[in-house]
Structure 1
């Protein structure tokens, strides 16, 4: 007589689990029965994730590369994602860090990595709609962060071809927004406070955002997709909106009167390039108040084609942009604006 026992739930190690996206990813996988190992460096955030049911592992990615802890897959979401900084810092965090994740996968025989890259690799001047995953990155990336993501993707692809990473999937989620956002909306509100949000061509340029919950969903779908090995997927909400319309929604949710600065994209792009060169030589390399990448994201229409994710992963957004903006506003003090 034999007894059939249920198979244990699949296990996943999530890097960057204590970051904005990482916390949502942990919750998404836990909600769908995974055993989750949460890796990060923030003790308080790790404690909260442990209370949700995750197993916390504290440390940096270099320590992870030496860790023996077999799991069924890795979601690599850890990254230094500042829009400004020294190349050496991005190289250490995003390139060498990805190398340490590859070491962990090889050491523990992990069959699959799902890597969180960035559609910022497409960033350039000009309007472009429905950008596909095959679109080549700009020859000269607009920031060290973008360069590091391009190099990290290449490093993973090389490891995949060499057999060190048996299965590799990459997602490129654009403009994450939601409760706890530390980048997109807060930076717009910083500009709002100082000079008003720059508005180009009346704010008619289309902006493609993604509710953070939808990115977590896409990662779970990619983790379980049986025939997606080697693929890259753009992820957005599939709801491109005029920039001015999104700002109106955000200001209304925050109870703030609109405040804009009419601007010329060509002039400010040139000014951004000048300020970048200046800040590179100033002591401490301070972040410029304006950069070329910033202008490309708010002055031009740039939308992503997500048809591959829909077809191959079964991805359909579950949280719309209005809900994501409202969730941000509900957890962000107007005093900060």
Structure 2
């Protein structure tokens, strides 16, 4: 089976590309960075082919149409996942890329699409426990959530014969450049702020578990033409407890400071306003970045369990251990 993986040089994309190669699939993956693509090929358990693509560019759609010829499925991982960025950057990376993938599916009669979305669509600066996929979505909290919501709308409107939307929560593991690295940088600089007592319940997803969900989304019979599923480890834990686990695994000193959410929110608003005024890039703290650590958000996984047979393949503690082992082995890391 031939499969195209967009964003295959990124964190999640490379892991799914490696799993597909290990399963005997013919894999073509896209990405912008030649160095990252070479790394993916170097660590692959078998041969795979890289096609450079700049989503949103005049040539992207044609390149994807050519790359997806003969493909039975596309896994669309390419995205800009960040709490901060320009409207155009999110539009190109998240919306235009999805439109380009949908054009490729239509042009080549691709049977199935697995589209990686986000549970940031659920976030509303309040505690939300056991969120189901069919619950009404709140207004988007930032440009990232807005663009990913628009991308989902494009998939729904396309009327593909088989499409799976996956919403994985807080993915981490080796080669993660977003979630735990941000947390580790803050831990190395000074105290971690504990808002609302540090008791916010957080869902996380080991990358191996997301890869398993993607594999099921590619291969299991679907109960509907379009299926939407939450993904996580299914083992929420309090933010302060997560900090202790991460500090122990990554051999870092843990320092915390209890701060009221309203104060952090006020500081974040000020930093965001200054960043916009100065056009100085992502501020040290964003409202969304702080909010996801202050408010509980856990996901209901029943649909994924019942309809695709999902069960986590790795525990949360083992996922943290593996990530720490990889991180500590990187050049220049000083525990």
Partner of 1:115: 115
TM superposition score normalised by structure 1:
0.90
Contact 1:117 1:173 in 2 (8 A): yes
Partner of 1:81: 81
Contact 1:64 1:101 in 2 (8 A): no
Partner of 2:138: 138
| Selected match of 1:20 from 11, 30, 40 | 11
Superposed counterparts of 1:316-331, under 5 Å: 316-331=311-326
Contact 1:195 1:261 in 2 (8 A): no
Q: How many residues align?
A: 322
Q: Give the distance between the partners of 1:280 and 1:142, measured in 2 at CA.
A: 16
| Selected match of 1:213 from 208, 213, 228 | 208
Report the RMSD for the aligned CA atoms in angstroms.
Answer: 1.7
Show CA shifts across 1:3-39 (max 9, x none).
xxxxxxx211000000011111011212222221112
Local SS of the residue matching 1:39: strand
Contact 1:125 1:296 in 2 (8 A): yes
Superposed counterparts of 1:147-162, under 5 Å: 147-160=146-159
Partner of 2:106: 106
| Unaligned ranges ≥5, structure 1 | 1-9
Deviation at 1:149, TM superposition (A): 0.2
Superposed counterparts of 1:220-299, under 5 Å: 220-228=215-223, 229-282=225-278, 284-299=279-294
Q: Give the distance between the partners of 1:237 and 1:258, measured in 2 at CA.
A: 24
Q: Give the distance between the partners of 1:135 and 1:181, measured in 2 at CA.
A: 29
Pair 230,191 (structure 1): closer, same or farther in 2 beyond 3 Å: same
Partner of 1:176: 171
Q: Give the distance between the partners of 1:105 and 1:17, measured in 2 at CA.
A: 17
Q: Give the distance between the partners of 2:37 and 2:286, measured in 1 at CA.
A: 34
TM superposition score normalised by structure 2:
0.91
Deviation at 1:166, TM superposition (A): 2.6
Kindly indicate whether residue 36 of structure 2 is the aligned counterpart of residue 45 of structure 1.
yes
Pair 336,95 (structure 1): closer, same or farther in 2 beyond 3 Å: farther
In terms of mean alpha carbon deviation, does 198-207 or 212-221 score higher?
198-207
Partner of 1:7: none
Contact 1:14 1:26 in 2 (8 A): yes
